[in-house]
Structure 1
Amino acid sequence: MPPDTATKTATLHRMVMPDHMCPYGLKSKDLLERQGYQIDDRHLTTREEVDAFKAEHGVATTPQTFIDGVRVGGFDDLNKHFGKSVKAKDSLTYKPVIALFSVAALMAVAVTWLMLGTPFTGRTIEWFISISMVLLGLQKLQDVERFATMFLNYDLLAQKWVRYGYVYPFVETGAGLLMMAGVLTWLSAPAALFVAGIGAVSVFKAVYIDKRELKCACVGGDSKVPLGFVSLTENLMMIGMALWMLSKL
């Protein structure tokens, strides 16, 4: 039978060492396979092989893909070659908060169903906000130092008292947990009202008065979420929850 001239082939050079397998090499291989390529998968198994390959081809990194004998480049270059968008490392995105609030909403529905036998009641909203507070606090607690540093860019109280940035994640998480359980409202509600009130004023001033373009520390110190409407909404939700809980005392 005549050879299949439509077969697409590519050569991929990637690191596969005993102590390290390059993740971008695996991603390049997967991308090529999804594009219908047969791959000549060539492993660089030692540091010496990697250095020799880089020197031979005049490249600084691996993996490297060759299609029809022409070097395409690394994983990002391969994406561009196939017309796929490549997200800049420092580009802003709302994806983290969308994911967090979506999970919080689903958890609130699950808790409502478990506790009350129905997927939605007025308590669902309370659980949604309190669960969101806990999840947001957890993001900050992963690296309190980085959060506190980013927080200093816009929070008015933290700029006056630097240690406040280190206290905030514990207050938010603790208040959320107490509100979830519906206990010690006399403590959790004023605490949430205090931090959220300061937060709302700080965000409003930074974004809408000073017109500053900043990243929000709401989902941790490595956040790429822009400071703005979402950040303000987070604080307003906490304020609303605190006032509602206080009204029930």
Structure 2
Amino acid sequence: MTHTYQITGMTCTGCLAKVESLLKKVPNVKQVDISLTEGTADITMAKHIATKDLQLALADYPKYQLSEAHTHHAVVEQNDQAENKSWLQTYKPILFIGTYLFAIALIAGKTSDGINGLTAMRIFMSGFFLAFSFFKLLDIQGFADSYSMYDLVAKRFKGWAYVYVFVELALGLLYATDLLPKLTSGITFAVMSISLVGVVQSVLNKRQIKCACLGAVFNLPMSTVTIIEDGLMIIMSLIMLLI
């Protein structure tokens, strides 16, 4: 038998993965199919399971609330409001961060003869990795859940999602101190290239999943903005490798 339940509090694919894993641990649950858009879960069970038992499975995560599927309208309205946000409103966090980093890079690269392009790129890349790793560290579990939904390596070995956060942090520090510049750029090129493949596949397949670039703090959808972001880092690391 299959029953449909309403689940509130899910904002990203990381939330979806967490709720799904918790519900599957309930005895007699055979299958859980969650719709993030609808805010519903179709639960197939070997025999009837009381709603309170399903709610108890989510008790350690109070932001997720499970109920009988009669509050559908409220969830649809909430999702419609999110979908009606403008492009600028959606990507405002990443635009602000990029603008700040660009300004800092120009200031750091300024010399009496103009702008030192290599220094400006190095500082921009340092700020990029330090800022983005900071947001990931605020909720490393949420980031790992989201990242493992599309990254080629993390889908097969979720532990890489946790390691990736500290790789970004290390790259940020190496660029800031200008230590081992060639090795740092080589690692950046390799890591970001692998990440880009998963992003491109998700965008081309029109998968409605959350971009994990800013961790689980902001609900940014996967889009061409993510491709541009990763592609920019790949191009800059390649330039620094070749010069």
TM-score range (shorter-chain normalised) is 0.5 to 0.7
Q: Confirm or deny that 1:197 pairs with 2:193.
A: yes
Contact 1:112 1:118 (C-alpha < 8 Å) held by counterparts:
no
> Are the structure 2 counterparts of residues 88 and 118 from structure 1 closer, same or farther at C-alpha, using a change threshold of 3 Å?
farther
User: Retained in 1: the 8 A contact 2:129–2:168?
Assistant: yes
| Alignment TM-score, normalising by the size of structure 2 | 0.59
CA gap 1:103/1:182 in 2 versus in 1, 3 angstroms:
same
> Structure 2 counterpart of 1:101, which letter?
G
- Asked if residue 98 in structure 1 is aligned to residue 95 in structure 2, the reply is yes
Name the structure 1 match of 2:115: 120
Q: Which residue of 2 aligns with 1:148?
A: 144
Aligned 8 A contact 1:171 1:192 in 2:
no
Task: Find the aligned partners of 1:119 and 1:132 in 2 and give their Cα distance.
Answer: 23
| CA positional deviation for 1:136 | 1.4
Task: Give me the whole-angstrom Cα distance separating, in 2, the residues matched to 1:244 and 1:193.
Answer: 10
- What is the percentage of aligned positions where both structures have the same residue? 31
Structure 1 match to 2:16: none
Equivalent in the alignment of 1:231: 226
The residue type paired with residue 110 of structure 1 is I
Larger radius of gyration: 1
Unpaired stretches in structure 1, ≥5 consecutive residues: 1-86
Deviations along 1:183-221, whole A, 9 cap, x unmatched?
Answer: 11243122212220111100000111x221221110111
Deviation, 1:222, is 2.9
SS of the residue corresponding to residue 94 of structure 1 reads: helix
Partner of 1:215: 210
Matches within 5 A, 1:43-122: 88=81, 93-113=90-110, 116-117=111-112, 120-122=115-117
Whether contact under 8 Å (1:126, 1:180) holds in the other structure is yes
Taking structure 1 as the reference length, the TM-score comes to: 0.58
Gaps spanning 5+ residues in structure 2: where? 1-79
How many residues in Structure 1 have an aligned counterpart in Structure 2?
159
Give the CA deviation at 1:89.
6.3
Distance 1:176 1:118 in 2: 27
User: What SS does the corresponding residue of 1:220 show, helix, strand or coil?
Assistant: coil
- Cα root mean square deviation, aligned: 2.2
1:64-93 C-alpha deviation (Å, 9 max, x unpaired) = xxxxxxxxxxxxxxxxxxxxxxx9468671
Partner of 2:38: none
